[in-house]
Amino acid sequence: MLAGRLHVRDRELRMERVPVPEPGPGELLVKVAAAGVCLSDIHLIEGVLTPRLLEGDRVTLGHEVAGTVHVVGEGVTGRRAGDRVLLQAGEERGGAICTRGVDYDGGWAEYALATAHTAVPIPDDLPFEQACFIPDAVSTPWAAITATGGVRPAEAAGVWGVGGLGAHAVQLLRMIGAHPVVAVDPLPAARDRALEFGADLALDPAAPDLAERILAATGGHGLDAAFDFAGAAPVREQAVAVLARGTERARGGRLVLVGLTDGPLTITRGTAFTVGMQDVRGHYGSVFRHVVELVRLVRGGRVEFSRSVSGVLPLAEAPEAVERLRTKQGAPIRLVLSP
């Protein structure tokens, strides 16, 4: 079968023919229908991220995967050939959390292996190209908002970086009743998209009156929660400056770090941050229940992701998809590969 393989040592993505894997006990062989292309895949190819638990130096990329069960391994119950499923982006193995397409082979291929419990059933009316990126592109912002950020209805929230994750953050914040929802992005197309997805205000980070406009939109209160999806030091400084200050009854606003960076975290106005009783919270990924919750919300008609599919490319064109995402051609939310 055809697969997009990362040669970790030289950081080269190669489209190769490899054997179709066979499911062992407790496993499923899934015929891949759609696989998302994520910024994390770019980070792996460029060397920003390195697999920690990979056996060997080659891995099939792709942690966002949906398709149909093709072969059921020995001992598996509750799953049968033909079932429509998406695959969780990772699982615990030997006491460590391993990520699909990073620490073991993922879904940039015609077929993918999965431990049976990582296959989540999806409704018949959910297209594969929308289902595939619910793990990560949707579940990561969902977990950041509901778990790490703890956003409640009527709280003011800001999103810096309206790309693959940030666009969904805007949509999900709107769904849970945050108000106002403020989006910040340097790209005009991304700001327009943020408004389409439900932002009440979309701003250029270079705007000289950005802080004033955010404070005006929140009635002088500031943001209860600010989410950094860009992973950039200037973003964090800018977001901290418009966080709500604490009172006798409640702590101040919280900055939730979702975007990855190896740069130092600095807070210039440290005394104001401390006196304001503000928080910085790190966030990474999601857990199984977040994906299940989102599938339930899709099934119930509370949210849908058709606008998030920026393009569907044949699997053989994975390198082109990578380049389009790397250069932000067309400001994509999610590009999807289809074998």
Helical axes 188-196 vs 166-176, angle rounded to 10°: 30
CB atoms near residue 79 (< 10 Å): 18
CB atoms near residue 270 (< 10 Å): 10
Beta-bridged to residue 335, according to DSSP, are: 37, 311
- Against a cut of 0.75, is the pTM above it? yes
For tokens 């703890």, the residue is 150
Instruction: State both tokens at 29.
Output: 């062989």
Rounded distance between C-alpha atoms, residue 314 and residue 331, angstroms = 19
Is the backbone of residue 45 left (phi > 0), alpha (psi -120 to 50) or beta?
A: alpha
Query: CB within 8 A of 206, min separation 6: which ones?
Result: 186
Per the CB < 8 A criterion, the answer to whether 242 and 226 are in contact is yes
φ and ψ of 104, to 5 deg? -155, 165
Residue 197: closest CA among 253, 159, 156: 159
φ and ψ of 321, to 5 deg? -60, -40
What pLDDT tens digit does each residue of the chain (339 aa) get?
A: 999 999 999 999 999 999 999 999 999 999 999 999 998 999 999 988 889 999 999 999 999 999 999 999 999 999 999 999 999 999 988 888 899 999 999 999 999 999 999 999 999 999 999 999 999 999 999 999 999 999 999 999 999 999 889 999 999 999 999 999 999 999 999 999 999 999 999 999 999 999 999 999 999 999 999 999 998 888 899 999 999 898 877 788 999 999 877 778 888 888 888 888 889 899 988 999 999 999 999 999 999 999 999 999 999 999 999 999 999 888 888 999 999
For the chain, where are the alpha helices, taking DSSP H only?
Answer: 39-46, 128-131, 139-143, 166-176, 188-196, 210-217, 233-240, 270-275, 288-299, 318-326
Rounded distance between C-alpha atoms, residue 89 and residue 54, angstroms = 15
Count of H-run helices and E-run strands, the chain = 10, 18
φ and ψ of 51, to 5 deg? -60, 130
First to last CA, the chain: 10
